[in-house]
A and B are shown apart, each in its own frame.
Chain A
């Protein structure tokens, strides 16, 4: 059975998550206490419900007890988000994901029973700084204190060489887990264009070409050495 989702709190982040889930064909309960937000999203979401999520009966009446995963995305009130997490867990929601605003909020929701805590502003800030400081780092995800996943433009020295010949694992201890390539095409109008293709788990014989972006997994200090190539 496909998973059923709920998004509680339809601010910018919550509504974007709800719309994307719906776009991908999932059933989503989208809830907010603000009737304007429900009206705004009602045409795009089949189950947009105006409700006060701090009221257990309202949650149950809206069918939230059938939900597998719920995102709690309140910007303003920590107290409300804590109460809603407890109610959702009480209703039997298997996974409760909570968007938090700061470290204190994160600590509290973890204690209360959130299954997953997300910190979009902080994560995005770290990624942005990384990108501003190194323009050829296109994306960055910190996996732990030591390990990261980065997208890095192929270095000039790598072009025209096979992955195996670069010995990135042996020399730097990093793994290339995907290559994003800019492949030339001629579009329907007969105009040259570029399409992006992604090669997941590239093979040793795959060649690095101009415009390629390598998705590298490794220790931060080792990734730094690759960047200097």
Chain B
């Protein structure tokens, strides 16, 4: 990615974090879809996406993206915890 898309990607993640922290999970989902379309290899983007999906009660999709986080970063502790909980539910 060149400078432009990278900046844009960062902005999208910041915006998504803002929505998540304000419990506007479905707004965050919309933003994170765009972020992942820009960069599908970012564990943090997939983590935030999974978190926002879980917050929106979209458990199945959330599981897929927590799994994707662990593919990209097998040591991601938060993704492990969430996935374990969702599978056990």
B15 at the binding interface (Cβ < 8 Å): no
Tell me the smallest distance from the CB of B40 to a CB of chain A, in Å: 20
B38 at the binding interface (Cβ < 8 Å): no
B26 contact set on A, CB distance < 8 A = 210
Q: Are A153 and B21 closer than 8 Å at their CB atoms?
A: no
Given contacts A187-B78, A192-B48, A193-B78, contact A135 B60 (CB under 8 A): yes
Mask of B48-65 contacts with A, CB within 8 angstroms, 1/0: 100100111101100000
A229 at the binding interface (Cβ < 8 Å): no
Q: Is the interface of A mostly helix, strand, loop or mixed?
A: strand
A191 contact set on B, CB distance < 8 A = 47, 78
Contact-residue size bin, chain B (C-beta under 8 Å from the other chain)? 20 to 34
**Size of chain A's interface in residues, with CB distance under 8 A?**
18
Mask of B21-40 contacts with A, CB within 8 angstroms, 1/0: 11111100000000000000
Q: Are B20 and A184 closer than 8 Å at their CB atoms?
A: yes
A217 to B64 CA separation, bound complex (whole angstroms): 32
A182 contact set on B, CB distance < 8 A = 23, 25, 54-55
Identify which of A153, A209, A211 gathers the most chain B CB atoms within 10 Å of its CB: A211
Looking at the complex, which one of B24, B47, B51, B59 makes contact with A210 (CB distance below 8 Å)? Answer: B24
B89 at the binding interface (Cβ < 8 Å): yes
Looking at the complex, which one of A138, A183, A210 makes contact with B56 (CB distance below 8 Å)? Answer: A210
Tell me the smallest distance from the CB of A120 to a CB of chain B, in Å: 16
Q: Are B56 and A186 closer than 8 Å at their CB atoms?
A: no
Mask of A118-156 contacts with B, CB within 8 angstroms, 1/0: 000000000000000001101000000000000001100
A154 to B20 CA separation, bound complex (whole angstroms): 18
Q: Is the interface of B mostly helix, strand, loop or mixed?
A: helix
Given contacts A184-B22, A210-B24, A210-B25, contact A192 B57 (CB under 8 A): no
A210 to B23 CA separation, bound complex (whole angstroms): 7
A165 to B71 CA separation, bound complex (whole angstroms): 45
Tell me the smallest distance from the CB of A190 to a CB of chain B, in Å: 10
Q: Are A184 and B57 closer than 8 Å at their CB atoms?
A: no
A211 to B53 CA separation, bound complex (whole angstroms): 9
A187 contact set on B, CB distance < 8 A = 78
A202 to B71 CA separation, bound complex (whole angstroms): 40
Q: Are A153 and B57 closer than 8 Å at their CB atoms?
A: yes
Mask of A150-172 contacts with B, CB within 8 angstroms, 1/0: 00011000000000000000000
Looking at the complex, which one of A184, A210, A211 makes contact with B21 (CB distance below 8 Å)? Answer: A184
Given contacts A194-B51, A210-B25, 13 further A-B pairs with CB under 8 A are A138-B89, A153-B57, A154-B57, A182-B54, A184-B20, A192-B48, A193-B78, A194-B54, A194-B55, A209-B23, A210-B23, A211-B25, A211-B56
Interchain Cβ contacts under 8 Å between A and B, 11 examples: A136-B57, A153-B57, A182-B25, A182-B55, A184-B20, A186-B21, A187-B78, A192-B20, A192-B48, A194-B51, A211-B25
What is the interface of chain B, defined by CB distance below 8 A to chain A?
Answer: 17, 20-26, 47-48, 51, 54-57, 59-60, 78, 82, 89
